[in-house]
Amino acid sequence: MFILSQCIIAAGFLLMLINFVRCAVHVFFSKNVLLKNDKKKIVLTIVVLALMLASCVLYGYTYSIYYLSNWVGLLILTGILLCTILLSWFFSQITGIRERCREILEALVGIIEIGDPNLEGHSLYVHNLTMLMYENLPLTKKTAINPSNLHYASLLLDIGKLGIPRRIMDKTGKLTEEEWEIVRRHPEIGVKILAPMHSFDPISTWIKYHHERVDGTGYYHLQGEQIPLASRMIAVADTYSAITMERSYKPSMKHDDALAELKLAAGTQLDEEMVTLFCHIPYTDIQKALNDVKTKMERYSEEGFRE
């Protein structure tokens, strides 16, 4: 009986640990790209928490029966349950705050870009495409990137364009070389804008180098893997969005033609591995990402936020 009780206690502890890890992974590394699966997330979280509580009850009950008086066992059980509930509440608050912050940022970025013929929805589209790429990364590379940071970096990649003169950003014709030189400074300007907010420090280099060329001929002469992986991912998504979305100075390009352009740029401008990864993403997923952007931008347009 003693051995059996020990096994039950050990199993209870192991179950509690496994469920704790599952809950933590679910909260901090959620892979919900377009935030369409909230119901599933909630159900999964409830199930995980229920298993945690059940394991605590099993442990407390077993311990109280075989080792201590009932009232001491009850105190132990109560303490474990309270700690578990408090921990679960803390996790839920963190994930709730993160999602709300991201939703607010998405809305602000969308409102900033609405009505701009050269930006409208571009950052939101780059964000969705980048997160699609993250979903398809090999596990070894995926673990090297914090998905929350990637969300913010891909949303804020063009925040520096707020520092570009409106006469250039609103120009309907082709930009001069001098004007392009000013536009190309937007990653550096974006880093300066975010500098006072130290919580964005981890993503500042991702934003700064998202236009760097993998052949080393870019502004900072970084080459290949010297460029952060997140920057290389954003660069591919940024390029695809730029050549497939409507612009005042050029027509849009169809999906197959855009993939051909990405392949031509692979190994020189863009990371070859990331281009290959992007080209294997099903077109239906890319279309869903675009439809998500269109829905949001149509809402901002109908509300007349920038009129």
| Residue in 39, 41, 142, 161 annotated catalytic | 161
Is residue 219 within 8 Å of residue 212, measured between CB atoms? yes
Query: Which amino acid is present at 294?
Result: K
Q: How far is 228 from 36, CA to CA, in rounded Å?
A: 29
Residues linked to residue 266 through DSSP beta bridges, in sequence order: 270
How many CA atoms, within 13 angstroms, populate the side-chain half-sphere of residue 51? 17
Composition of the chain by helix, strand, coil, percent to 5: 70, 0, 25
Question: 270 in helix, strand or coil?
Answer: strand
- 161 as an active site residue: the answer is yes
Q: Is the dihedral of CA 150, 156, 157, 160 positive or negative?
A: negative
304: region left, alpha or beta (phi > 0 left; psi from -120 to 50 alpha): left
Is residue 19 within 8 Å of residue 59, measured between CB atoms? no
Residues ≥6 apart with Cβ < 8 Å to 92: 27, 45
Q: Is the dihedral of CA 124, 130, 136, 139 positive or negative?
A: negative
Burial of 87: CB neighbours in 10 Å, binned 0-12, 13-18, 19+: middle
Strand (E) or helix (H) holding 27: helix 2-28
Annotated catalytic residues are 161
